[in-house]
Structure 1
Amino acid sequence: MASAGKQGYLDGLPISTVFLMPMAPSRTSLGTTLCLISAAGFGMSAVFAKETYQAGAGVQTMLTVRFALAALLFWALVAWRRPAFPAGRTLLTCVGLGAVGYACQATFYFGSLARIDGSLAALLLYTFPPIVTVIAIALGRESMDRRRLTALACSVLGVLLLLGSGVRPGAAGGVALALAAACTYALYLTVANGLPEDLDLYLVSAIVCTSAAVSLALISVSTGSWQPPAQPDGWLWTGLLAVFSTFVPIICMLAGMRVVGASTAAIVSYAEPAVTVASTALVYGERLAPTQFLGGAVVLVAVLILSSDRAWPSPALRRAFRRNATPALTDEHVEPHPSPAVAGRAGAGNG
């Protein structure tokens, strides 16, 4: 078992190396654990958000504070690492990804959590990998084949099963928001896939979080929708959302992917909706109907089919995951760490 010494070393390596430097392929179990921690953090976002709502906070206010706190942590990390800063069109793209893409995606997803069960919202959000494939085919980056057609059919069937037993009155808007979040996130990944290969992933996360925070703050103030928590514990839950469902999961995901590769890390990330389903069932007593449980399983099967050729969720994103290749990782079974498309996932997966 790995152990930390007094000098700040982990199995002979500086602890900072675990998160900020490429790691040896032999540390597979540690990499898998980091990816599981990431999935658990993203999966718990539904509970943190619902508790914040119960404390009286509005969706956009909560997200503004969440992204602002996460941005501060990422900028502290960037100040220590001192990576090259993007300029021109690349910088504008990063800002747009945060101010428009991720601000909208997070608003849709967390807005759905205020209207429907977290388990249903999380499973509907996980339709984004097939949507990425559809976009790639529409743009001519991929071609339709039997495997992709099967995955898309499974995805549609899964959504129909999830919604087949009906939703409670007034919840249709929440379902629409969850599906809108999936579509927005698919577009976000498609755009982020075009960012330069040499961008520092932590810097991208800092820019995305900052841009999202500024965008949401301006919208809240201009529309008069700024609604801070009425109870003090609302700030605590928002802080937990920022740290343990944003900053820590992204750091763990990036570190874990450098060890086990993008494909394995993506499969491990399927634990995200499972964590959401389990945590909301434990805390709020939410339960999926048998047909909804089956529908959620079919949705995840669609994602597994799309990842069957070691590309997640499609060859269009295989190139994204293989950006920023690290020369120190020479084992043919270990993939380089992910692209800005993945790094900008400030709360993605489950919001």
Structure 2
Amino acid sequence: MTATSTPVRPVVPRAAVPGLALALSAAFSFGTSGPAAKAVIDAGLTPLDTVWLRLAGAAVLLVPLALAIRGPALRTLVRRHRALLVGYGLLSIAGVQVCYFFAVSRLPVGIALLLEYLAPALVIGWLVLVRRTRLPREAFAGALLAVCGIAVVVQVWSGLHLDLLGLLAGLGSAACQASFFVLSDRLAGEGDALALAAGGMAVGAVVLGLVAQPWQLPWSTLLGEASVAGTVLPVLVLVGWIVVVSTVLAYTTGIGAVRLLSAPVAGVIATVEVVIAALVAWLVLGERLSPVQLLGGVIVLCGALLAQRAASQPVPPPSPVPGPAVQEAHR
């Protein structure tokens, strides 16, 4: 008998398509937070008020969800890693959002988000200078590339024409975003993603509430209106979008994407967030980046991706290294 062979078609993992859909959904949801927050801030709320509303609203929705689905993991996280959870809530949740929302109130949304993407470069510096971790050369190349990209975005050769406080806030958001990698390393293998997100939101809302003093928040502003792309919308609708879509939906779809695709793959797709944020800001706010700034943005993203990927593969001897994760999951 003569055996006949049939062409073998490449097999696409079943999780690839739904995982890709979840990752793109997360990128879109997170990408709309900056433009929506900027419209809310322009309507009369402060960046601090806007962040507190986002955290408090998300905590009200996420904590019951986490208790129902990941109750034991959430209780274990609170019992065993209370200090890390507080740090995560203050820096990786509240800190990054306060700095980012303050930055978008003074800078174009695209530039504010690109500044945040310096986080992988900051992680490289922390690993080398503090943890004494040996990393591949690609990690340093990626960090340098990201810094050069930011220099192109702000056009340092012509002097800094952007708002200085906005730039500092953007760099602050990068530092707080870098704390996510550091704290995730400490919780590697022990912290459930949904439980960590819910717990961090709750901690951030409680602690930030002491500063924001929500009892003095101009609640009447929520009943006002904001202009978005020439259309007048209720401020309450935009706040609801930030809470439900840009936070709860973004976190849950981002977590699902990581589980189906793995963190490195989901992290690469997450860079679409920058494109979405810049596009939405252009359509609804009229913000446009120059061709040179767009080129700088591409350089930043390439550097961030290279640094993230290389940082997850330290040179022997092995040392615990924070692996890459979904960036928009912490904005």
TM-score by length of structure 1 reads: 0.78
Q: Which amino acid aligns with 1:202?
A: L
Query: Which of residues 83, 99, 110 in structure 1 aligns to 2:90?
Result: 99
Q: Which stretch of structure 1 is more off in the superposition, 244-253 or 193-202?
A: 193-202
Q: Is the 8 A contact 1:65 1:238 kept in 2?
A: yes
Instruction: Summarize the Cα distance change of 1:131–1:244 in structure 2 as closer, same or farther, 3 Å threshold.
Output: same
Q: Is the 8 A contact 2:312 2:323 kept in 1?
A: no
1:3-14 equivalent positions in 2, closer than 5 A: none
Q: Which amino acid aligns with 1:215?
A: V
Once residues 316 and 102 of structure 1 are traced to their aligned partners in structure 2, the CA distance between those partners, rounded to angstroms, is 26
- In structure 1, the residue matched to 2:64 is 76
Once residues 260 and 329 of structure 2 are traced to their aligned partners in structure 1, the CA distance between those partners, rounded to angstroms, is 21
User: Which runs of structure 1 show a deviation greater than 4 angstroms over 4 or more consecutive aligned residues?
Assistant: 165-169, 307-310, 312-321
Asked if 1:39 is matched to 2:39, the reply is no
Unpaired segments ≥5 residues, structure 2: 1-11, 224-233
Give the CA deviation at 1:193: 1.7
Q: Which amino acid aligns with 2:121?
A: P
Q: Which stretch of structure 1 is more off in the superposition, 171-180 or 198-207?
A: 198-207
Q: Is the 8 A contact 2:311 2:323 kept in 1?
A: no
Asked if 1:56 is matched to 2:48, the reply is no
Q: Which amino acid aligns with 2:237?
A: L
SS in 1 for 2:152: helix
> What is the aligned length?
303
Q: Percent of aligned positions with the same letter in both sequences?
A: 25
Instruction: Summarize the Cα distance change of 1:296–1:220 in structure 2 as closer, same or farther, 3 Å threshold.
Output: same
Q: Is the 8 A contact 2:140 2:307 kept in 1?
A: no
Q: Is the 8 A contact 1:102 1:212 kept in 2?
A: yes
Q: Is the 8 A contact 1:62 1:228 kept in 2?
A: no
Once residues 319 and 62 of structure 1 are traced to their aligned partners in structure 2, the CA distance between those partners, rounded to angstroms, is 30
SS in 2 for 1:193: helix
- In structure 1, the residue matched to 2:6 is none
Once residues 280 and 179 of structure 2 are traced to their aligned partners in structure 1, the CA distance between those partners, rounded to angstroms, is 28
Q: Which stretch of structure 1 is more off in the superposition, 207-216 or 83-92?
A: 83-92
- In structure 1, the residue matched to 2:292 is 291
Q: Which stretch of structure 1 is more off in the superposition, 308-317 or 118-127?
A: 308-317
Instruction: Summarize the Cα distance change of 1:309–1:130 in structure 2 as closer, same or farther, 3 Å threshold.
Output: closer
Deviations for 1:53-82, whole angstroms, at most 9, x for unmatched residues?
132111111111111111111122123223
Instruction: Summarize the Cα distance change of 1:27–1:145 in structure 2 as closer, same or farther, 3 Å threshold.
Output: closer
Give the CA deviation at 1:228: 3.8
Query: RMSD in angstroms over aligned alpha carbons?
Result: 2.7
Instruction: Summarize the Cα distance change of 1:80–1:54 in structure 2 as closer, same or farther, 3 Å threshold.
Output: same
SS in 1 for 2:221: coil
Which has the greater radius of gyration?
2
Instruction: Summarize the Cα distance change of 1:156–1:79 in structure 2 as closer, same or farther, 3 Å threshold.
Output: closer
Give the CA deviation at 1:41: 0.6
- In structure 1, the residue matched to 2:230 is none
Asked if 1:208 is matched to 2:200, the reply is yes
Once residues 312 and 229 of structure 1 are traced to their aligned partners in structure 2, the CA distance between those partners, rounded to angstroms, is 51
Q: Which amino acid aligns with 1:119?
A: G
Instruction: Summarize the Cα distance change of 1:228–1:137 in structure 2 as closer, same or farther, 3 Å threshold.
Output: farther
Query: Which of residues 221, 231, 249 in structure 1 aligns to 2:213?
Result: 221
Deviations for 1:81-125, whole angstroms, at most 9, x for unmatched residues?
232412445022112311344222211110011111101101111
Instruction: Summarize the Cα distance change of 1:231–1:316 in structure 2 as closer, same or farther, 3 Å threshold.
Output: farther
Q: Which amino acid aligns with 1:97?
A: Y
Give the CA deviation at 1:201: 1.9
Asked if 1:125 is matched to 2:113, the reply is no
1:1-351 equivalent positions in 2, closer than 5 A: 25-81=13-69, 82-84=71-73, 85-86=75-76, 87-88=78-79, 90-140=81-131, 142-164=133-155, 168=161, 171-195=163-187, 197-221=189-213, 226-228=217-219, 230-232=221-223, 233-308=234-309, 311=312, 320=323, 348=330, 351=331
Q: Is the 8 A contact 2:184 2:322 kept in 1?
A: no
Unpaired segments ≥5 residues, structure 1: 1-23, 322-337
